[in-house]
Amino acid sequence: MASERIAAAAVVAFSGPRAQRGRIAADYWALTKPDINVLIAITTAAGYCLGSRADLSPLSWPRLLHALVGTALVASGAATLNQWIERALDARMRRTARRPVASGRIEPGRARAFGALLSLAGVTYLLVTTGPLAALLATLTWLGYLLLYTPAKRRTPLCTLIGAVPGAMPPLIGWAAARGRLDPESWMLFAIVFLWQFPHFMAIAWMYRDDYDRAGFRVLPADEGRAPFVTYQTLVALVALLPASLLPLAAGYASPLYGVGALILGVGFADCAARFASLPSAAAARRLLLASIIYLPLVFTLLILSGA
């Protein structure tokens, strides 16, 4: 029948070499964690823009693009190597079992080579296009993420504190790319991203705590200490984040419009955190996670668009 012939032709078309190449490309793209790279790009761009603003020099768009490309390459390489290292553990978790390496769609050796190539390319690119300091900071970020944070997740609930340091480095890379040095003001941006990570990761850890236990990750303490631990890390970080987010305004790097926007976003974020801390639940954790995903890109976008 004609309908059967059409269906058979469709199966061949979608399972042919071109479709297979598309699936492989999609798997390699997934290894780089593009959703996280978006946040990294925004915070790197904010660091670059504020660094240029501090120097009172015109914004160099080509140099900004170089900083974004190099940082994204290093971050993509680190994300790929992280999945290669944790492939056996990821396979035990429902949330990560379908990742390309954990599921076996990409061979571990290929993932390792891909991650190493991306990392080396990113550091080299930053060194050539933006200077040695940005390349050094990217290298330290890579080392901290893979050699400190990744093994710490299997050993101690303090892994969030450890991982928050490399996680907050992208704005410093952007600042260094703009100015060739780190000024005291650059640490304002580091502080914002550093503090933001605690409520963000506490929400994730609570939502997937059974998954983490199954895989052997110790992102939270034992059962009786979990709720107080999550409450403390979430609320203390949010209390510190509110004034930290206003430091660019106080230092003269942002307009009052930024201050109003940052305050509104911070109060909304803190409200979700307080609700989660008062009654930790999957629904409250999802709301807090959504609030964190909204908060950071909007605050840093305001910083990029806001002139003093």
Query: Within a domain: residue 97?
Result: yes
pLDDT by residue for the chain (308 residues), tens only, comes to: 444 444 443 333 445 567 788 899 999 999 999 999 999 999 999 999 999 887 666 788 999 999 999 999 999 999 999 999 999 999 999 999 999 999 999 999 999 999 999 999 999 999 999 999 999 999 999 999 999 999 999 999 999 999 999 999 999 999 999 999 999 999 999 999 999 999 999 999 999 999 999 999 999 998 778 889 999 999 999 999 999 999 999 988 888 999 999 999 999 999 999 999 998 899 999 999 999 999 999 999 999 888 64
Scanning the chain, the segments in alpha helix (DSSP H) are 2-14, 17-31, 34-54, 61-85, 87-90, 108-129, 132-143, 150-152, 159-167, 170-179, 186-207, 209-215, 223-245, 247-250, 256-278, 282-305
* Count of C-beta atoms within a 10 Å radius of residue 262: 27
How many CB atoms lie under 10 A from the CB of residue 113? 13
The answer to whether residue 7 is domain-embedded is no
**pTM given for the model:** 0.91
In a domain, 184, yes or no: yes
- Which CATH number do you get for residue 292? 1.10.600
Residue type, 19: A
Instruction: Give the domain extent around 286.
Output: 14-305
Token pair in block for residue 246 = 């206003």
Cα distances (Å, whole numbers) of residue 214 to 89, 191, 217, 240, 252: 9, 33, 8, 33, 48
What is the DSSP code (8-state) at residue 99? S
Domain annotation covers residue 5: no
Q: What would the pLDDT profile of 78-135 be if each residue is shown by its tens digit?
A: 999 999 999 999 999 999 999 999 999 999 999 999 999 999 999 999 999 999 999 9
Contact yes or no for 241/266 (Cβ under 8 A): yes
Residue 216 lies in a domain: yes
Q: Give domain status of residue 4, yes or no.
A: no
> What is the total count of domains within the chain?
1
Residue 2 lies in a domain: no
Question: Domain for residue 8, yes or no?
Answer: no
Structure tokens at 192: 């914002």
The per-residue pLDDT for range 98-109, each reduced to its tens digit, is 999 999 999 999
> How many CB atoms within 10 Å of residue 308?
14
